[in-house]
Every structure is written in C-alpha cells, then in structure tokens.
Amino acid sequence: MDASRDTISDLLLDWYDRNARVLPWRAAPGTPAPEPYRVWLSEVMLQQTTVAAVKDYFARFTARWPQVTDLAAAADEEVMAAWAGLGYYARARNLLACARAVAARGGAFPDTEDELRALPGLGAYTAAAVAAIAFGRRAVVVDANVERVVSRLFALEEPLPGSRPAIRALADTITPDKRAGDFAQAMMDLGATVCTARAPRCLLCPLAGPCKARAQGEPERLPVKAAKKAKPTRQGRAFWIERDDHVWLVRRPDKGMLGGMRALPDDGWIARSDGSGEGPVAGPWESAGRVGHVFTHFALELSLQVHVGRLAGDPPGEGEWWPLDRIDEAGLPTLFAKAARLALAGAGAGAGAGAGAEAA
C-alpha cells in the first residue's frame, strides 16, 4: 500500500487492529458488535469514569440483569444500591428511565443517533457512540479523548470548551463511512494509552506523521483548558442513630447531591455551611470523629454524631432501620460508607468512641 495515500482513519484503524484493548463490553476488531444493551450500559457507566472503576460494576449489572427488560423490571432501590460507589447518581436514575423506555417499545433500542439522543441519559456523545459501536452507523463520536487527540492533531490553540465546535467539525472530517464504531473506539484507545493528557507516547503513535502538535514539539501543551475554580470546604454533621443492632437510614431526594441514594440523616450540609445543625432526635449526641470527602465542586468535612440505644420509637420522617451486619448491602454512597465505617470502628474500639479519628 502506498503510505502517502493512507488517510488518518486508515492509519488509526490499522493500529487498532493490532492494539485494541480487550474490554468486557467490546467485540474484537472486525467481529460482530455486542448487544446494544451492553454497549449502552458500558457507555453510561463510562461517562466521566475510568475503565478500571467500571469493570466490576459492568460485570455485576450484566450478571444480575442480563437483558434490558430485566433491568427495566428491577426495583429502583435495587438499581441505586447496585450503582452505589460509582458516582454521578443521576446516571443510575436515567439508566432505569431509559431501560423502561426501551422495554416499553418492545425491548429493542432504536438504531439511529437521533432516536438514541432522545432517551434519558444519552447526550451527544453517548448517542453517537451507541449508534456507531452497536449499530455500525457513521456518527461523529467526541469525548475527552477525541478532544485531546484532535486538538493535538490539528494544533488547536483555542482553549476548551470554546474549541468544541471546531473539534467536532474536524472530527467529522476524519471519521470514515465504514467501521465508524471501530474508529471511535480506536480514537478513545489512542487517547487513553498513547495520546495521554500527560507525557504522550508519540514514538508509539500511528498519527505521529500527520500530527501538527508533534511537529511543533510540545504536544503535551494541548489542548489548552480554561482555569478551574478553587474548591471551597464545607462543614456538616451526619447522625448515626443505632438501636438493637440496626441503624436509621433515610433516602435522599431525587434531585441534588447523591440524589435517590440511601444515606445517614444529616444537617443539610448541601445548603448551609456552618455545620451546626440539630440532629433529628433529641440529644445527647456523642462525637464519633470526622470524615473528609471531596466532591466535584467542594470538599466536605463531616462530623459524625452518634446516638446509641436510647431511642424508644422511630425518628421523625421517612426512614428504615437497617441491620448493622448487612450495612455493606445498603448501597451507601462513599461519603456515608466512610461514616458508617467510622461509627462501627468506634463502637468496636470501646471507650472514647474514636473521638477525633479521621476516616481515610
């Protein structure tokens, strides 16, 4: 083959045929596509989330709910608990809504980008990715990897996110009519393993020839990104109410932080910053220590207040007594899983209740 005639997609697809990562939700290059359900599920899990973090969740979901209709029939609480720890919990609510929408139309995903885009939780990226990977449609798939690769390939100096329209237009020009799914995955593999954010491995790159950033000598400088805001720290309190080897858990509202997830009662650290709120039942409360946790937009220092064995009835409001020996199955998001660990460690530590301890 005359190398001078190789297009960027040819170079990349040849590289992909030899270097594709082996992933549980992926078919080997050139083999039939996986079921749309598996492609969609993996794409949603992978939104802003690393491959390493997704693998176990993908295995558990597909073992427990082998078809989209199985997932559609599951109870909300079961799915939310299964998602616990993966983050961005709106994805889990949208996942269920999408599964039920697909089940309602007979259990088959639509096979066009526009129809996919209309489903809950599928934005421009995911709709294009599913259309290309599951259905072989030509679609322009742009995620953070593609943004980085294209920014370097064409040496775009305009900072993100302003450069997105230009990136999309350029990605369109290099997307092939055939093997669009492989092309999309090849771009993402390249971004994940070669054209990395820091210290790109240009010596291994199949696109080093045409890459303008490479020619200019500082590929790691691109893409330029807008400066990030400083992250404030908030204070808050969470309340561990224990009685007869059970702890009182609540369900958080669907909207907002950790929406729809089981949780410990707290003082509303989302809205307020003084962390001095009252507990849901009358005192006395004892301190079990502090839990530090970093969210996307702020860091939280949570003081854990405990109230053990002195309560006659139920605390006010909705909630449930959850058995301590099954606390791992409650599906607590990481912040509250840390708090539970602290409370249980404090109980086992005897006098002092672990006051002042810091959970990792």
Q: Which residues bind DNA (CB under 7 A)?
A: 23, 25-26, 42-43, 46-53, 84-90, 94, 120-127, 129, 143-145, 148, 185, 188-189, 191-192, 196-199, 225, 228, 256-259, 270, 293-297, 333-335
CB of 264 to DNA, least distance (A): 13
Closest to DNA by CB, 139 vs 211, is 139
Closest to DNA by CB, 89 vs 154, is 89
Question: Cβ neighbours of residue 208 under 8 Å, at least 6 residues apart?
Answer: 202, 214
Closest to DNA by CB, 104 vs 351, is 104
Angle in degrees, 0-180, between the axes of helices 180-193 and 144-153, rounded to the nearest 10 = 80
Cα gap 168→147, rounded to integer Å: 8
Closest to DNA by CB, 142 vs 353, is 142
Closest to DNA by CB, 167 vs 258, is 258
CB of 273 to DNA, least distance (A): 13
Q: In which region does residue 317 sit, left (phi positive, over 0), alpha (psi from -120 to 50) or beta (all else)?
A: left
CB of 303 to DNA, least distance (A): 17
Cα gap 324→270, rounded to integer Å: 26
Indicate if 147 belongs to the active site: no
CB of 114 to DNA, least distance (A): 13
Helix (H, G, I), strand (E, B) or coil at 246: strand
Q: Please give the span between the terminal C-alpha atoms of the chain, in angstroms, as a whole number.
A: 56
CB of 176 to DNA, least distance (A): 18
Report residue 275 as tokens: 């962390």
Measuring CA to CA, how many Å separate 172 from each of 37, 129, 141, 277, 301?
Answer: 26, 14, 9, 53, 45
Catalytic residue among 35, 43, 220, 278: 43
Q: Is 4 exposed, middle or buried (0-12, 13-18, 19+ CB in 10 A)?
A: exposed
Residue found under tokens 């199985």: 70
Active site residues: 43
